[in-house]
Amino acid sequence: MGTETRVVFIGDDLVAGREDPRAQGWPGRVVARTEPPGSVTSYVLAVPGETTTALATRWEAEALKRFNPSGPNRLVVGLGWSDFDAGVSVARARLNLANILDKAASLRVPTMVVGPPPRKPEENSQLAAFSAAYAEVAGRRETPYVETLAPLTDHEQWLEDMHASAFTWPAQQGYGLIAWLVLHSNWESFIK
């Protein structure tokens, strides 16, 4: 077995896997499928309903307690629906993510950003504005960005999962789909 990589996942309810019948959320599914088994130790530091404004304030102190001083360490920022729900502007959300990524870079911690998935059809165009802003911020910093909104908007399993919960939270299939997108976005090379 190689060196253990510590991965800290930060974000809101979607990172925590709210209402996941398997209690893994997408981070647990990603780590469970990471090769070789046991090469990653994960820490999920999610706060329900947390906006990027609050996240930018708290993540560093909590993550530093979990990071290995001699590395390797990774940070995964999972962005859900909290900014949209709380009325945070796209410009403010963009700045908050930029601050998180800039601080992680100053700590020399490679970072990946996972964007918000779709929700109610009438909300998706507004969520797309957040996703585009997050992708732009990540791209400017050469940080991997996992787009989840576009691939899942018309995905039959995602829609079934969300419809069953009245478009509140994904369940087993939905979290599995997010995990699949992360795993197929150069995850293995990111954590090495």
Q: Looking at residues 99-126, what average pLDDT do you find?
A: 97
Per-residue pLDDT for 36 more than 90? Answer: no
Helix (H) or strand (E) holding 124: helix 124-140
Counting the structural domains of the chain, the total is: 1
Encoding tokens for residue 53?
Answer: 């404004």
Read off the CATH number of the domain in which 89 is found: 3.40.50.1110
Tens of pLDDT, residues 41-63: 999 999 999 999 999 999 999 99
Question: Residue 129 belongs to what domain range?
Answer: 5-191
Average pLDDT, the chain: 94
Give the chain's radius of gyration (CA, Å): 15
Query: Longest Cα pair distance anywhere in the chain, in angstroms?
Result: 48
Instruction: Determine the Cα–Cα distance for residues 170 and 160; give it in Å rounded to an integer.
Output: 9
Tens of pLDDT, residues 71-101: 899 999 999 999 999 999 999 999 999 999 9
Q: How confident is the model at residue 1 (pLDDT cuts 50, 70, 90)?
A: very low
Nearest to 115 by CA among 150, 89, 61, 78: 78
Whether the predicted model's global pTM rises above the 0.85 cut: yes
Report residue 87 CA to chain centroid gap: 20
Tens of pLDDT, residues 132-145: 999 999 999 999 99
Beta strands 111-114; 145-146: pairing state:
parallel
